[in-house]
Structure 1
Amino acid sequence: MIDITRRIYPGVPVWPGDTPYRYELTAQIAQGDSVNVGKIITTTHLGTHLDAPWHYVDAGQKLESVPLSVLIGSCRVVDARGQEALSVDFLRSVELAERTLFFTGQPNHWGTFPHTFMHVEPEAAMYLAAQGVRLYGTDCPSVDPLTSKDLPGHKAFAGAGVYILEGLALDGVAVGAYELIALPLRLEGADAAPVRAILR
């Protein structure tokens, strides 16, 4: 098994302006309590995470409506390094699968949050759907540029019925075919959730 999940730790970079990750103990054996108990405060878009369509389309599905069948099954890892934007021309040159993960060259550890990364052209999102792709995975923190407000990539994926898995740790993973297991926390009514993602 290959763990393609980003580490979560105090100070882990999050989207600028989003809620930082914090873990605190509310009970400690060392302080006389019978158990150690912690609490977490964080964004739902922490590290490796699954977007629910409701995140970018107000009428979209919330997290509990994302089918598990999309998140488990055969997948393909594609090398997309050097692509400023994911285009139809590039997609025609690679092999795709129902679940396709794109390695763009992002490191598995972000010292600071990346401000430039590969985004997805809306036409590419539609092309992926036409080729039978149901889950788009990326090592980038978003499918749109950091400064985008209208989110054309996200909305194109929503219109095409393709789900988005962001923030994967794909550095060192060979291109090829795998089985993907990428299960989010079961957060009812949520816009996203962290995911533990592995390849077999």
Structure 2
Amino acid sequence: MIDITRPIYPGVPVWPGDTPFSYELTWRIADGGSVNVGKLTTTTHLGTHLDAPWHYVDDGGKLESVPLEALIGPCRVVDARGQEALTVDFLKTIQLAERTLFYSGQPNRWETFPLEFMHVLPEAVQYMAAQGVRLYGTDAPSVDPLTSKDLPGHKAFARAGVYIVEGLALEGVAPGDYELICLPLRLEGAEAAPVRAILR
């Protein structure tokens, strides 16, 4: 099994202005407690995470609407390094799968949050959906540029009915076919959740 989940640790970079991650012990055996118990404070878009459609369209489905069948099954890892934006022309040069993960060259551990990364053009989303893609995975932190306010990529995915996993750790993973297991926390009513993603 290959773990393609970004590690979570104090100081892990998050989207600028979003809630930083913290973990602290609220009970300690060393202080006389019967157990050690921790408390998490975090954004739902932490590290490797699944976006629910409600994140980017107000009438979109919340996290519980995402079918597990979209998140588990055969997948393909594609080397997309050198692509500033994912285009139809590039997609025509590769084979797509129902679950396709794109490695754009992001390292598995960010020292600082990346300001530039591969985004997805709306027409590329339409093309992928027409080819049967149901889940789009990326090592980038978003499918739209950092400064985007209208989120054309996200909204194109919503219209196409394709789900999005962002922040995958794909450095060192050979392109090819795998089985994907990508399970979010069961946060009912949420717009996103961290996932544990592995390839087998």
TM range (shorter): over 0.9
Match of residue 97 from structure 1:
97
Partner SS, residue 105 of structure 2: coil
Partner SS, residue 159 of structure 1: helix
What one-letter code is carried by the residue in structure 2 that aligns with 1:3? Answer: D
- Cα deviation, 1:5-61, whole Å, max 9, x if unaligned, reads 000000000000000000011100000000000010000000000000000000000
1:52 aligns with 2:52: yes
1:160 aligns with 2:160: yes
Q: How many angstroms apart in 2 are the aligned matches of 1:156 and 1:11?
A: 32
Match of residue 66 from structure 1:
66
Partner SS, residue 70 of structure 2: helix
Q: How many angstroms apart in 1 are the aligned matches of 2:157 and 2:125?
A: 6
Q: How many angstroms apart in 2 are the aligned matches of 1:127 and 1:43?
A: 31
Unaligned runs of 5+ in 1: none
Q: How many angstroms apart in 2 are the aligned matches of 1:49 and 1:196?
A: 8
Match of residue 22 from structure 1:
22
Q: How far off its partner does 1:146 sit?
A: 0.1
Q: How far off its partner does 1:145 sit?
A: 0.1
Match of residue 86 from structure 1:
86
Partner SS, residue 12 of structure 2: coil
Q: How many angstroms apart in 2 are the aligned matches of 1:118 and 1:12?
A: 20
Match of residue 121 from structure 2:
121
Normalised by the length of structure 2, the TM-score is 1.00
Normalised by the length of structure 1, the TM-score is 1.00
Q: How far off its partner does 1:180 sit?
A: 0.1
Q: How many angstroms apart in 1 are the aligned matches of 2:157 and 2:52?
A: 11
Match of residue 183 from structure 1:
183
Partner SS, residue 123 of structure 1: helix
Q: How far off its partner does 1:170 sit?
A: 0.1
Q: How many angstroms apart in 1 are the aligned matches of 2:70 and 2:39?
A: 30
Q: How many angstroms apart in 2 are the aligned matches of 1:52 and 1:137?
A: 13
Number of residues paired by the alignment? 200
What one-letter code is carried by the residue in structure 2 that aligns with 1:123? Answer: E
What one-letter code is carried by the residue in structure 2 that aligns with 1:55? Answer: H
Q: How far off its partner does 1:179 sit?
A: 0.1
Q: How far off its partner does 1:183 sit?
A: 0.1
Unaligned runs of 5+ in 2: none
Match of residue 110 from structure 2:
110
State the percentage of identical aligned residues: 81
Q: How many angstroms apart in 1 are the aligned matches of 2:28 and 2:95?
A: 51
Q: How many angstroms apart in 2 are the aligned matches of 1:173 and 1:24?
A: 33
- Cα deviation, 1:80-112, whole Å, max 9, x if unaligned, reads 000000000000000110000000000000000
Q: How far off its partner does 1:154 sit?
A: 0.2
